Structure 1
Amino acid sequence: MGRPDKAARAAIAQRRADAIDLRLAGVDWLTVGRKLAADPAVNSDRVAYPQGYGIDRYNKGLEPPTDDQLIHAACKDVRQALKERTTEQEEKADELRAVENLRLDRLFFVAYRQAVRDGDLPAIDRALRIMERRARMNGLDKPSKTEIVTPPTEGSELTAVALDELEALIGISEEAAHGSDN
């Protein structure tokens, strides 16, 4: 199966947007899967959703997807749509960061010239502030160690966890949770 044509890609994008909207509205995964199914026999609206789940099977006259397959397809769609949105936001942030770096370059040039030429202490301070802003914006400063402390519960002891350890634990939990989706 090749890459979908432009119309099919637009329909898939719409399906993913609809899946997110349904989940945001509190609709469970199976209902999302049924609502966006291609086969009217399983579609909750009894219509063929364009580029819906199981479209290839429907076009070939095969059995519609099972409930588990519909749930898996809906989960996969939402994950993919969120990943695409995150990528788009990161690209826009990169573009804005580039513009801000150009602005900081101009401001720094003026402050630096005054600081070096005249030994102007306020200009030196301003140049340093611009440098600090650039370092923060571009992630040049090494982050300080962050610890998260959980309150004790009955029968447990107080635990301090470094941020990287917490992220590793979360990653392991997410992998375990999504392991059944794949």
Structure 2
Amino acid sequence: MKKSSETDLVRCHWAQSELNIPYHDEEWGVPVHDEKKWFEFLILEGAQAGLSWDTILRKRARYREVFDGFDPGKVGRYDKTKVRELLRDAGIIRNKLKIDAAIGNARAFLKVQEEFGSFDGYVWRFVDGRPRQNAWKTHKQVPAKTPQSDALSKDLRKRGFRFVGSTICYALMQATGMVNDHVIRCFRYNALSGRRLRS
């Protein structure tokens, strides 16, 4: 039985469309610990640079298809023929720099897995292994980047990752639950406070 109509729920201000409401309600801010999901968010956040997240959500299913389910081992082996094929695909962001970065990032991702045992084990160190619980009253208080995203960005770049500036890294941290940036009035805030959820 449904509690109340969807419209009665208080959400973060950006969750307003049929695309981003389910994403906000079910996914944004839920701690990620799955390697393919980490790679997916890394690619999609980089692809978003200069665009809206809604644009990426609209193309997400196609990205999953053409990027082999976000398997970094497969993406890391893409060649020039595959790049040309991707550049012709209107279902994704047809930007050569972003496509090249996705392939390079796959290779860097595999090296991180080799060094740390998993990308998950590597990335969570930047927040001491558990989600940072913020308590923003309004969306205007939410920062675009933090010292933690600066540190993550710097380290990723050092390891050869691209499209990983601090603002992109903070968006990645928000999406994957490394920080709880739902505003306190949002119905998802309490659900994600203090829990180490697995996905």
Asked if these proteins are the same fold (TM beyond 0.5), I'd say: no
Bigger relative contact order, structure 1 or 2 (CA pairs below 8 A, ≥6 apart): 2
TM-score of Structure 1 vs Structure 2, range by shorter chain: under 0.3
If the length of structure 1 is used for normalisation, what is the TM-score?
Answer: 0.24
Q: Could you say which structure has the larger radius of gyration?
A: 1
The structure with the greater share of residues assigned to helix is 1
